Structure 1
């Protein structure tokens, strides 16, 4: 489910730029555009957007005054945009979730990145503050409760670029989202993603910070960036950031598994494929203790029985499975949770 965003701005040029950025970002879409506060209120009541991108210099009614009137009646995350940096404090106090400077014509890419980051951060909010008073976001709790909490997590290293396609060929578009961390070098992930697209029928993509996870999606961690799972308004999203090595690697399987273990994990399935070393063992143990179902590839079918062995010996593996049976075991467990 995509987060629906309303734009409030009287500049057609800027509105078109924001539309292209939002619609080009996974997990978000534009549901409407308004040119003045009164039209915005009408559209908010009609469309019930999940987020508002607001121009500070509004006609008739200023952005800060508009927010002070809006938030108590309809508490949604608002990203304020302007060319005036000095307005940041005023807008944040008035209830804006974030503040982004508009581009001056030569900083479009910088604006694109800042807006996407603000959208991802705003999507994870549970409450907002307007003039010192805290308001819980509308419909947040209901959306999270209604979301399908099932999630598949896969990690691996040496031999896993050959093992993963075998597993994914047993999946289909009805599967819960799948997050995969393999020890891939920088620059190789996009090539591997293109290969997987040809070998399976799923929506395969490289991790992008703030990306929403959707049914039938397979997200591959980018080389040299840790991928983690975070709670979002409508379900789960991806955090993809550079960082120090964890368990000897970046990206790290332990980073992925541990982040998921910090959420409500009793509908998660974690799979550890062939690989050298011990990355993933600690995170998988945390997941199992949190209620997740855990599968380790067996020694006979592993190219390198290192990571699955470390997890098994740590007590993190609930079921050992031959490579060719992993997708069956995943689907069987998912069927038990329906």
Structure 2
């Protein structure tokens, strides 16, 4: 059976770097180089003729930079784009303009540096190929009826060019099925972990004992759950698509809202710039995590790249530790590390939120938070760029309430008010 590969358009003005990318990417059995473009104008022409599945985009280019290219492309003809940039500010601008993800352009000192960069780029290309971009639905998440609809030819409103979506940005069913099997394996492993935890602590088990691994039996909440105690902090985890999703959640929180701790999968050097950007849009104060930061109302703390963030407590209250360590659940910083510490140290006065992202980081930790009495929220399928981390969390019973992205901020504020009212009555 022939493998239908991911067709990639490489956009880069550097002949040397473009050649390295093309030769490296085409070594992967699931990637095919559809073509290349030497600048943004060339890319616009090539997109219409080549119909790639994914675009890799350099930001620093002559004539029209990658950011301006995205701003013109995405509103009228959205494609999954992975940006390659050496500058944090450019990468963040690209994400804001609609790119799915970014990879830091390497400073190559050894062959290993280039190999690591290529591995990361290939991984993110594969994730981008199943991402939800605009009205484009990832095939991995479609029912057969929906897939049948997408076999019909549609028309681009901006160009009037008819599209055969059977050929347009498709990825092989075989590859989709492999990804699904991998996610199912993660779910099975996490369910075994859940059963082990339950056997050690039968108390919270009553809340989810009907689950038996079937999401239809997992107790959910229709309205805002009543707080058991005053809200102390909110812990948020995200990956692919998370930078903009996090902004939508936190920018509407009031200035005196309880502390928010955030783990977004992002490399060192980028999280500080991201925190500064969030700070310009939020009523709360936003900063990159430093070891020993106190957990106080009005603060949003972003885990630093390459550092795990944990919650600890002393006589003065709660604070965070920021420490280097091995990857957990495939990442550093890891959402699971944060969520596990919140469950252990803070308990039912916290809320856990899992947002868009590939993989399963955060699912086990969110389940542990729910079993500790925390209110847990997951982003729904329709609003996710990649419905991976929230899907695994939902399927194992870690998510108490699933919501569209646009509703999560208001849900947190409502929950905070119920917790404040409860505290006043006591």
Q: Structure 1 length normalisation: TM-score?
A: 0.56
2:263 paired with 1:187 = no
**Deviation readout 1:211-239 (Å, 9 max, x if unpaired):** 11111100000000000011132221010
What SS does structure 2 have at the residue aligned with 1:174? coil
Query: Which runs of no fewer than 5 residues in structure 1 stay unpaired?
Result: 1-146
Q: Quote the residue 2:55 is aligned against.
A: none
Q: Quote the residue 1:273 is aligned against.
A: 355
Larger mean Cα displacement after TM superposition, 162-171 or 250-259: 162-171
Structure 2 Cα separation of the partners of residues 203 and 230 of structure 1: 21
Greater helix share, structure number: 2
Structure 1 Cα separation of the partners of residues 280 and 321 of structure 2: 26
Structure 1 Cα separation of the partners of residues 344 and 399 of structure 2: 18
2:322 paired with 1:240 = yes
Q: How many residues align?
A: 192
What SS does structure 1 have at the residue aligned with 2:382? coil
Q: Structure 2 length normalisation: TM-score?
A: 0.44
Which of 334, 341, 344 is the equivalent residue of 1:262? 344
Indicate if the aligned counterparts of 1:148 and 1:235 stay in contact, CA closer than 8 A. no
**Deviation readout 1:255-283 (Å, 9 max, x if unpaired):** 00001110241111110010010000000
Q: Report the alpha carbon displacement of residue 149 of structure 1 after superposing the two structures with TM.
A: 5.5
**Deviation readout 1:282-326 (Å, 9 max, x if unpaired):** 000000000000000000000000000010001000000100000
- CA RMSD for the aligned pairs? 1.3
Spell out the pairing of 1:144-223 with structure 2 (5 A cutoff).
Answer: 150-223=232-305
Structure 2 Cα separation of the partners of residues 264 and 195 of structure 1: 28
Q: Quote the residue 1:29 is aligned against.
A: none
2:376 paired with 1:294 = yes
Structure 1 Cα separation of the partners of residues 338 and 354 of structure 2: 12
Query: Which runs of no fewer than 5 residues in structure 2 stay unpaired?
Result: 1-228, 421-426
Q: Quote the residue 2:77 is aligned against.
A: none
What SS does structure 1 have at the residue aligned with 2:277? helix
Q: Runs of 4 or more off by more than 3 Å in structure 1?
A: none
Which of 303, 308, 315 is the equivalent residue of 2:385? 303
